[in-house]
Amino acid sequence: MTNSPIKVLLQFLLFTVVILAVNAENPLDKLDSKAFLLKARNPDNRTWCTMDGKVIHRKSGSDTVNAPLYLGIAFNPDRMLAQVVIDNKEGYTLGQAYAGNDSTTVIPLNPAGYKKSMLSEFGLRAQDLSMSFLYWNFEKELTREDIKGSECRVFILREPKQGEIAKVYINSRYCFPMKVEWFKDKYVENEEPYRTLEAASFRKEKDFWIVNKLKLYGPGWRTNVEFDNIDVGVTAENIPQKLFRELPDMAK
């Protein structure tokens, strides 16, 4: 069994099991805000994960729509690489370096891009699934809060270019984000966010626990992400040949 903290999806989507006494002292409590964030931003194991499922979107006054969704992830020594594909028609390659604030790349699989993004119509951004918000500029740490029975350290982070704000709730013991709320350009206490992302449920696969359901919502809309076909392993061993897939148009 892997003996290391739960990881970002990811960090958010992939974490290893740790057996701890209920009342054991938490060594991460000794870390100040920036040191704790550094821990959350730097996964200390090398893993890969493939996740097939679907995304379901409901919007007030419109029919519920759904589409297949694929996520492939590889955690390497210095960066995370991921691929998001929706409906086998639209896809993105993502890169996230563990060091630096402005280190996220999102590249459409179609070199011409997508004039009408299906992913955005479902309320998703490709970088939601790579947890890019964790690498935004640190502004301050707020009072700890409880999310789904887990004590979380709460951080206000700012996107370095556009100034968007993320309020991130990170499990204080395992260092993974449980919830994130987005605000347009500033954080005001008790103000409602315009977007929210939460981990909805977990599933054990081999020696790993996987976040297999996510929910996103905002005023008048709600999106559920459900992964039912999951595989996971260690990058030092066999990595699936099709961890990163080609879309049908790319293979022509």
Query: Model confidence over 98-141: pLDDT tens digits?
Result: 876 556 889 999 988 898 899 999 999 988 887 889 999 999 99
pLDDT of 6 higher than 80: no
Q: Span 151-168, mean pLDDT?
A: 94
Tokens found for residue 177: 């984000």
pLDDT of 3 higher than 70: no
Model confidence, pTM: 0.84
Query: Using one digit for the tens of pLDDT, what is the confidence trace for 179-233?
Result: 999 999 889 988 999 999 999 988 888 877 788 999 999 999 999 999 999 999 8
Q: Out of 2-6, 26-30, 197-201, 213-217, which region has the weakest mean confidence (pLDDT)?
A: 2-6
Q: Say if CB 210 and CB 228 are below 8 A apart.
A: no
Q: Which residues contact 111 (CB under 8 A, 6 or more apart)?
A: none
* % of residues, the chain, pLDDT over 70: 86
DSSP H helices in the chain: 33-41, 118-121, 248-251
- State the CB neighbour count (10 A cutoff) for residue 122: 22
Q: What is the pLDDT of residue 195?
A: 96
Q: How far apart are CA 121 and CA 115, in angstroms?
A: 12
pLDDT of 72 higher than 90: yes
Tokens found for residue 15: 């974490």
pLDDT of 67 higher than 70: yes
Query: Using one digit for the tens of pLDDT, what is the confidence trace for 161-178?
Result: 889 999 999 999 888 899
Q: How far apart are CA 210 and CA 16, in angstroms?
A: 9
Cα dist from 214 to 53, 129, 208, 210, whole Å: 11, 10, 17, 11
